[in-house]
Amino acid sequence: KAGVTQTPRYLIKTRGQQVTLSCSPISGHRSVSWYQQTPGQGLQFLFEYFSETQRNKGNFPGRFSGRQFSNSRSEMNVSTLELGDSALYLCASNLQLNTGELFFGEGSRLTVL
Amino acid sequence: GQQLNQSPQSMFIQEGEDVSMNCTSSSIFNTWLWYKQDPGEGPVLLIALYKAGELTSNGRLTAQFGITRKDSFLNISASIPSDVGIYFCAAPDKYSTLTFGKGTMLLVSP
């Protein structure tokens, strides 16, 4: 069974640009969550989607957005990139809601110059 | 928001030693989870705890859900080099969103 797949794995952008990250969950998983990981702040929740609907959103500015498609694949977008957006963006899927038992992808490492 | 205070921040031990780490909070939780992250990978779930006082093992790993529901502990026995990584505690808030501790970095010397 394939795991959670995130693309791209690495990318470099400059300030002011925008970026779109993609996540394919494990087959059959309908819930997808996104987390930002930085050395200073650790793992911080961005948003969660289930059946194409955003269930929860973390404390991030409106420049961070996401969506989920009917096949459960998800994308997140960051507009007007800032240096502080440099981070590892992790996507996770789970089979059952409300258990906390997440399956993470390897992440997309974004560097903003 | 809720904070999980994880300690120690890092540990450097010899192969074969036992390891203990813990996670505390001022909030009460109904679930505690422990994840491990290897370099260049995403976190992987090690153990999930759903009941106060529960003690659960996964191989050489043993985790406990504190009786006050405000803390959890993870022990690793007879450590080996592949135990190297960052260990995170996590707990879901009332919206079922996971909050993570800052992690304990474990280094094991052969």
> What residues of chain B lie within 8 A of the CB of A42, using their CB?
100-103
CB A60 within 8 A of CB A52: no
Q: How far is A105 from chain B (nearest CA, A)?
A: 5
Give the pLDDT of residue B51.
94
What is the distance in angstroms between the CA of the first residue and the CA of the last residue of chain B? 40
Flag whether pLDDT at B96 surpasses 80: no
Flag whether pLDDT at B1 surpasses 70: no
Q: Is the dihedral of CA A85, A8, A64, A72 positive or negative?
A: negative
Flag whether pLDDT at B36 surpasses 80: yes
Q: Are strands A19-24 and A74-78 parallel, antiparallel or unpaired?
A: antiparallel
3-class state of residue B81 by DSSP: helix
Flag whether pLDDT at A1 surpasses 70: no
| Nearest by CB: B103 against A42, A100, A106 | A42
